[in-house]
């Protein structure tokens, strides 16, 4: 608070004649009204500030408990990270197969990590197979008619993506042989599954392509095509195909992420954050419209949902009566 210092000094240090013996209340009333108002305002603000400081002190008293919880959580994460680093070191120094019968805790932990694809076997395709076996709960072994007739199955709903019910963005990108493929060519009066994956260095991504490749005959029964797109160069994809085997559908190269950005699975660099790409799976109907889609940090492995979405878009889902008949036939045949 700003004061009129001259007036205040005069009244406090040099009272007028007869004021020295006055009672405090009487002396106070001798100050000008403006000065008394400034004093009242000042002490009012001082009291409010004191109350605020007291409240803040009380809040700070509870802060150590939150800080303690945070510290415990960070220590837990650090312990997990260190243990994982130890497993990686063990995995690198003792390659699988070099250890005969070792029942140590590290070997058992490595086997668990291998099962879920947390450490590499050196064979990305084998890692992908391990990941599929561990996490894909419904591997399709039945005929397509039986799969579509299963009324107990719950289809995974589409995410509310921006492309939903919109024309699919066009693309024109090369495969591993540098042959260019376009959306119009692949979606030529037939349904199309478009998969964006993070590249052949990601075993979880390759797992999704493996699952689609295994179920490709069922997609072809619905006259549907599949295409996979990543930022891997054609040369890199060709090299991986030669090493681990190719897929039976086009695998295309979007080196500059331009297609991924148009489909909403890639966020370009900005001043604060580097570019980021998500997994993405989309279903495009015969008319070229996106009718289903999902994006996220993990690949989508529920091919049964994709088959149902494609079949429904073409009116090919069996009626209730037909579904019951097919289920009965399948049940009888499996006995």
Structure tokens at 298: 């993990």
pLDDT at 81: 73
pLDDT at 108: 64
User: Is residue 86 in a domain?
Assistant: no
For the chain, helix, strand, coil in percent to 5 are 50, 10, 40
Q: How far apart are CA 155 and CA 5, in angstroms?
A: 79
pLDDT at 301: 94
Q: What is the CATH number of the domain that holds 316?
A: 3.40.30.10
pLDDT at 117: 57
Q: How far apart are CA 59 and CA 62, in angstroms?
A: 6
φ and ψ at residue 169, rounded to 5 degrees:
-60, 135
User: Is residue 51 in a domain?
Assistant: no
User: Is residue 299 in a domain?
Assistant: yes
User: Is residue 20 in a domain?
Assistant: no
Q: Give the CB-side neighbour count of residue 164, counting CA atoms within 13 A.
A: 10
Residue 282 burial by Cβ neighbours in a 10 Å radius (0-12, 13-18, 19+) = buried
Structure tokens at 38: 């400034």
| Structural domain boundaries enclosing 198 | 126-333
User: Is residue 100 in a domain?
Assistant: no
User: Is residue 289 in a domain?
Assistant: yes
pLDDT at 250: 97
The count of domains in the chain is: 1
Structure tokens at 324: 């019951």
User: Is residue 112 in a domain?
Assistant: no
Q: How far apart are CA 42 and CA 47, in angstroms?
A: 9
Q: Mean pLDDT in each 10-residue stretch from start to end of the chain (335 residues)?
A: 38 40 45 54 57 54 61 76 64 58 62 59 67 63 85 94 97 97 96 96 89 95 97 96 93 96 90 82 97 95 96 85 42 43
CB 127 within 8 A of CB 200: no
User: Is residue 58 in a domain?
Assistant: no
pLDDT at 4: 38
φ and ψ at residue 227, rounded to 5 degrees:
-140, 140
> Which residue's structure tokens are 């408990």?
65
């Amino acid at each position: 608070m700003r004061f009129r210092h001259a007036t205040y000094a005069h009244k406090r240090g040099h009272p007028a004649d007869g004021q020295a013996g006055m009672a405090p209340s009487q002396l106070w009333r001798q100050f000008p009204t403006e000065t008394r108002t400034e004093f009242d305002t000042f002490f009012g603000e001082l009291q409010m500030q004191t109350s605020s400081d007291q409240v803040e002190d009380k809040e700070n008293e509870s802060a150590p408990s939150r800080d303690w919880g945070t510290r415990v959580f960070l220590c837990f994460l650090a312990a997990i990270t260190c243990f994982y680093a130890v497993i990686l070191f063990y995995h690198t120094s003792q390659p699988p197969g070099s250890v005969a019968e070792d029942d140590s805790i590290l070997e058992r932990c490595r086997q668990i990590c291998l099962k879920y694809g947390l450490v590499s076997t050196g064979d990305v395709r084998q890692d992908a197979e391990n990941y599929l076996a561990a996490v894909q709960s419904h591997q399709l072994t039945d005929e397509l008619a039986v799969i579509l007739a299963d009324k107990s199955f719950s289809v995974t709903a589409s995410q509310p993506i921006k492309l939903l019910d919109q024309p699919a963005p066009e693309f024109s990108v090369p495969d591993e042989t540098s042959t260019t493929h376009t959306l119009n060519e692949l979606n030529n009066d037939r349904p199309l599954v478009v998969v964006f994956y993070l590249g052949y260095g990601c075993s979880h991504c390759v797992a999704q392509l493996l699952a689609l490749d295994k179920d490709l005959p069922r997609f072809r029964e619905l006259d549907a095509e599949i295409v996979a797109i990543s930022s891997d160069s054609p040369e890199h994809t060709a090299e991986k195909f030669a090493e681990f085997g190719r897929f039976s559908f086009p695998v295309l190269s979007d080196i500059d992420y331009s297609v991924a950005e148009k489909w909403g699975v890639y966020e370009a660099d900005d001043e604060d954050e580097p570019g980021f790409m998500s997994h993405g799976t989309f279903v495009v109907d015969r008319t070229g419209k996106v009718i289903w889609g999902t994006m996220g940090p993990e690949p989508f492995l529920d091919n049964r949902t994709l088959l149902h979405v494609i079949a429904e878009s073409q009116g090919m889902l069996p009626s209730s009566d037909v579904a019951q008949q097919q289920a009965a036939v399948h049940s009888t045949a499996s006995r």
